[in-house]
Amino acid sequence: MKRYSIASIPGDGIGREVVPAAIGVLAAVADKCGFALDFRHFDWSCQTYLETGKMMPDDGLDQLRDHEAVFLGAVGYPGVPDHISLWGLLLPIRREFEQYVNLRPVRLLPGIASPLRDKAPGDIDFWVVRENSEGEYSQVGGRTGTGEDEIVVQQAIFTRRGTDRILRYAFDFARRLGRKHVTSATKSNGLYHSMPFWDERFAAIGAEYPDVAADQYHVDILAARFVMSPERFDVVVGSNLFGDILSDLGPGITGTIAVAPSANLNPERRFPSMFEPVHGSAPDIAGQGIANPIGQIWSGAMMLEHLGETEAAALVMRALETALTAPDIAKTPDLGGNGTTVEFADAVRTTLLGL
């Protein structure tokens, strides 16, 4: 039997609720399809930081290195400053394992109402391809001066290699999808160095793909267009920060960010890729058992796809969509229902076994 070794890091807040719920679904589909997922659990979190002064042990990345994938919940919780917790666990994993693509589908699922009037499944269906290893996310810069004279500098780093590889991924991905239209998020009217360079590379890489249509918008009007005409997008490529913002806005128009998944990919497969929902640890509802597990389960489906278990991935998505439209299955409160995390995930698991 084929076996896959997966590192699971539930992390903080609702991560500790939705990860076990999703693992129940993944174990069931593995069983049904005749392969095994060997999860090894890493209990690294803000609690670890409060106890040890570190989010993960010094050799933490080495402990993850030999797994085929990382399955992560969420990182960050009140009590530890966010820049400490995130730069202590999530961001080092993305960087060390060269997960330079953050692939985030934006799709209106059946059974969920869009806050946009008259939108049905099929109307909102596109992908955000986010640069995931450099750009505006940087520790370069610092503080100088004191009092009224204090100055803070935050550098953004755009390397030619890093920019070209994410743009090329976006064009290749559009080609593979068969929906050949890539939109670039820019801001070359305000950002003097980085975005003119980004536009220049977008034009140069785009020229290598004459069969793929390319257009670009400043990120401010692009945000408005996501709301006004989401149908027009296929693949949207953006820098680390622009991609981050657009990939919350996208799921916002599909009803809730709680369903949105992501794949942090090392496309060359030299290192493990990581799968996690777009949402965070949701401290406002943590511990109540009411978190929506769909983003985590869908992230699991993306992980199965990455592992080559395409049929299993499709089964998980069919089970999710079937459960979402079944009148007798209670959704979680963010979708207007009164179901719990465990009840909904269990209903997905049972639905899946019946497919």
Question: Taking CB under 6 A as the rule, does residue 276 contact ligand NAD?
Answer: yes
The upper half-sphere exposure of residue 229, i.e. CA atoms within 13 Å in the direction of its Cβ, equals: 5
Catalytic residue among 12, 169, 187, 334: 187
Q: Which is nearer to ligand IPM, 64 or 348 (CB)?
A: 64
261: part of which helix (H) or strand (E)?
A: strand 261-265
Residues 6 or more apart from 146 whose CB is under 8 A from it?
none
**Which of these segments, 1-9, 71-79, 122-130, 170-178, binds ligand NAD (CB under 6 A)?**
71-79
Per rule CB under 6 A, count of chain residues that contact ligand NAD:
23
User: For ligand NAD, which stretch binds (CB under 6 A), given 31-39, 108-116, 152-160, 273-281?
Assistant: 273-281
Please state at what angle helix 294-307 crosses helix 341-354, rounded to 10 degrees: 40
CA dihedral 75, 76, 79, 83 (to 10 degrees): 120
Whether 246 contacts 225, CB under 8 Å: no
Q: What is the dihedral of CA 222, 226, 228, 229, to 10 degrees?
A: 100
Task: By CB under 6 A, tell whether 156 contacts ligand IPM.
Answer: no
- Binding mask 260-289 vs ligand IPM (x if CB under 6 A, - otherwise)? ------------------x-x---------
Judged by CB under 6 A, does residue 284 bind ligand NAD?
yes
Candidate segments 12-20, 243-251, 262-270, 306-314, binder of Mn ion by CB under 5 A: 243-251
Residue 282 contact partner, candidates Mn ion, ligand NAD, ligand IPM, none, CB within 5 to 8 A by sort of partner = ligand NAD
Q: Are 292 and 256 in contact (CB under 8 A)?
A: yes
Q: Could you say whether residue 75 binds ligand NAD (CB under 6 A)?
A: yes
| Selected catalytic residue, list 4, 49, 169, 244 | 244
Residue type, 273: S
Number of residues that bind ligand IPM (CB under 6 A): 6
Is 248 tagged catalytic?
yes
Q: How far is C-alpha 242 from the chain's CA centre?
A: 14
Is 220 a residue of the active site? yes
Angstrom distances, CA of residue 301 to CA of 181, 308, 318: 25, 11, 10
Among 12, 131, 134, 244, interactor with ligand IPM by CB under 6 A: 244
Among 274, 291, 307, 345, the residue binding ligand NAD under the rule CB under 6 A is 291
Helix axes 310-325, 15-33, angle to 10 degrees: 120
State the amino acid at position 280 in one-letter form. Answer: G
Contacts of 131 (CB under 8 A, 6+ apart): 100, 101, 102, 162, 163, 166, 237, 238, 239, 240, 243
Residue 105 CB, shortest distance to ligand NAD, in Å, is 16
Query: Catalytic residue numbers?
Result: 137, 187, 220, 244, 248
Residues that bind ligand NAD (CB under 6 A): 14, 18, 74-77, 82, 86, 90, 257-258, 276, 279-285, 291-292, 295, 334
Residues that bind ligand IPM (CB under 6 A): 76, 86, 90, 244, 278, 280
Residues that bind Mn ion (CB under 5 A): 244
